[in-house]
Chains A and B, each alone.
Chain A
Amino acid sequence: MADIYDFVIIGSGPSGAVLAYNLSKAGARCLMLEAGKEFTSSTFPANELSANTSLMWNGGMDTTTDASVLFLRGKTLGGGSIINQCLLDRFDDNAFDDWRGRTGVDFFSTKAMSQYYDEVESKLSLHTMEKTDWNRNAELYVEGFEKCGMDWAPLRRGQSNCGEGNDCIVCLGGCPRESKQSTLVTYIKMAREHGLKVETEFNVSQIVHGTNLVSVFGEQRGSTRQVYGRRCIVAGGALGTTHMLLKSGFKDKLPALGNNFNCHPQFMNIALFDEIVDSHKGAFQSVKSQDPRFREQGFKLENVFAGPIAIALLNPGFGLDHQRFMQKYRNMACIEVAVRDATAGKIDIDRTGRLKIKKTMADADWQRANAGLQVVEELFTTLGAREIMKSPIKIGLHLMGGCTLGKEGGSSVVNEAFQVHDHPNLFIADSSIFPSAPGINPALSIMALAQKASEHILDECGVKSERTKQPYSGVEVQI
């Protein structure tokens, strides 16, 4: 009847799952709330369209207010880890030095964080992609890089056993082989073994912070629901977490809430070749750019591709022209420019409580994008592409910030102990705390930060799962 837990964890992605595991394992009563549904390897949607609609917020069609950037974010048990490629790289000195410089927080360093990276990596099955994994798209990528004298490296991915004959592009809609190391098959599974309770399709609309209690109000399958936690961990990602806090009125006391929103804008570039490339077959992503010049210039090049619906969306136009373009799906190779954005955006809500995301590309960002696009053009030209299409649509992946971590309440939302300033029972350790865009896939680092946060939270709060029934005190009623 009374739904009260030691910790209510809102969100089931890389942050929420790691925290849920550590806290449950320590003996705390934890409840995980997820807005999406729970799928298993055998029930994941069978095609791209239903994957978008069943696994993502707003069908994968969240945009900025000017509709120039499209944001993809997971809404299913496992969160973003269900719909990402599970590329698990650590942040480098470049990324952490920038964060330390911005915040003055000492643990933002590869050295201080390495313990936490070690701990989460030990719980995951990691695989460095080998040459035998390459599909033709990857081969072209490497060929181009070598011809142009640029550095590349194999990707490290979270996967256990993808087996033979798989076309990994489908695992963007949930891995059907239980291989991709999403939180669903790793941390959530382990946390459940330690007693974690999970409630799905629970849409949180308000978080009420009190002296020693946090009330979480929402809706579940058409009914009002509320649960209570002695502490609450918000792990809904940059947009989700920031949105929940904004809707709950935290901006009054946290002026920096919603500021400093970053993403890695991605420009997909498609080249048409005479040969059949079949980029959608085999391992979806195997190699990455490792050129220090790119890092310096603020971009990287991704060896990726997309399903037919996404590709169709990327090419403006309609009718026969569009059809002819799509007919060449098998001839397409793809290199994506991922920009390490320098201009922070802002997350806000309108009067009805809906998300309002402002994220514009400033000159500095365009410089980075254009530098990358130029390299892509050079690569494809070198490879003898018949035609190169640069996408006019930017896809915002790796959504970060909005609840920046920092020392000062005026300019940040979360303190060094991952506690929301002035709200001792509320914690955040997801990508919303990022002080800037690192330019590296963030999933592993989110997990490492959540690992570190678990330590702080257990230090700070301990585990309050003892429930001893108080007898009636029998005190005389006095004046």
Chain B
Amino acid sequence: MPPREPTTDAAASSRRSRSRARIRDAMLPVIEAELRRGLAYSDIAIRTLTEQGDVPRSTFYLNFADKTDLLRACADHVLTETTGWAAAWWELGEDITREALHDALARAMARYLPRAPLMAAVYDGARYDDTLRDAVERITGELVGRVEEHLVRGQAGGWVDPTLLPHEAASWIMWMYERTQHQEMRHADDATIDRLVDAGTHLLWRTLYAPARRA
């Protein structure tokens, strides 16, 4: 039997996804440049995005309902990136050392911080917009889940504090990172960022891993 052809709907959906991704990738650098200039996301003009992203206005509105829809698409994309970058931490195991933890966190943060102004806009917008609130719930759920898995694995392996409640610990840590990165590190100079990475590593080491070594 010959292979079935994709349905018309599935093919159209796939084309639309690719089109949305192309527009998102074209506009993401423009958004980040405008946020770095100090603009709020709500103040970035569609004209700026379409002209500097080289996307016809009509094409934008064929693919996105509005700027919020675009921001949500960017957030989903950054979540995919973030889980890739932070995996260097989550994949550490029983031979974890403080140095390896520091390297993993420093590299992840160096990659994430250019995205911090955009993600801060997503988290801020979530207080006012249902679609962004759903996106934030999805993002935080994913990140808490990954940290929780790491902690559960570590408790089973004897290298994470066995007394911590893993879901709650993952939740506190995830929000600590969200807030510190979006409220402090995005505004900080390199020396302050390095200092915060060092202090953050020391904090995670003492809270999660050191107690298991004392047991």
Q: Do they bind each other?
A: no
Chain B interface (Cβ < 8 Å from any Cβ of A) = none
